[in-house]
Amino acid sequence: MLTPVKIAVMVSGGGTNLQALIDAEASGIIKSGKISLVLSNKADAFALTRASRAGIPTAVVEKKDCKDASDFESRLIEMLDSNGIEIIVLAGFMSILSERFTSHYRDRIINVHPSLIPSFCGKGFYGLRVHEAALAYGVKVSGATVHFVNEIPDGGRIIMQRAVEVREGDTPEILQRRIMEEAEWKILPLACELVAKEIREGKLER
């Protein structure tokens, strides 16, 4: 029997997308992979509590404990590689990763972005800023995108997208919540399973 692909989820905050992944694994949506590590750059991230409750090993690497950005990434890589991680999911990980890091894990890092890329994405577009920009532009449809991560912010190959209606009277907070519930929490687990299955079956080199 093929062994599950080891997944690490990298977090910085509350971990709502992590919870969606945990729930998806528990319900069998994610079956080709197993969340084997939750790695945070913030020691007080509530996502670590979510992981502990689910019995998932956790680790913390904080920039303040590192000599510089290169040392920070070296410690992340050491933690991931020593745990045999094969897929990295960025779930609200609030730190830009260099080309050195992303090329080390080419076609192994996935991220969910709260818009339909190529709209409202790239440097400076994160969190509520994305939804503020979408509403200011007057779009009638927004959504979420899961994509591979490379050295260009939100520039990697698209894996999956889902559209969400923008409604009259939406605030950035209301739109953010709808996109999370109707798109992000749905397609992130599906994309994670898709990539894990391809790795497991040898379609992406393991």
Q: List active site positions.
A: 113
Sequence-distant (6+) residues with CB within 8 A of 99 are: 150, 151
Cα–Cα distances in angstroms (integers) from residue 182 to residues 90, 100, 109, 160, 165, in the given order:
19, 34, 23, 14, 10
Q: Is 142 in contact with 178 (CB distance < 8 Å)?
A: no
Which residue, among 152, 153, 182, has the nearest Cα to 165 in the 3D structure? 182
The strand pairing partners of 8, in sequence order, are 37, 88
Residue 41 C-beta-side C-alpha neighbours within 13 Å: 20
β partners of residue 35: 7
- Sheet order of strands, 5-11 included: 58-60, 33-40, 5-11, 87-90, 109-113, 141-148, 158-165
Alpha-carbon distances of 148 from 6, 106, 111, 169, rounded to whole Å: 17, 8, 6, 33
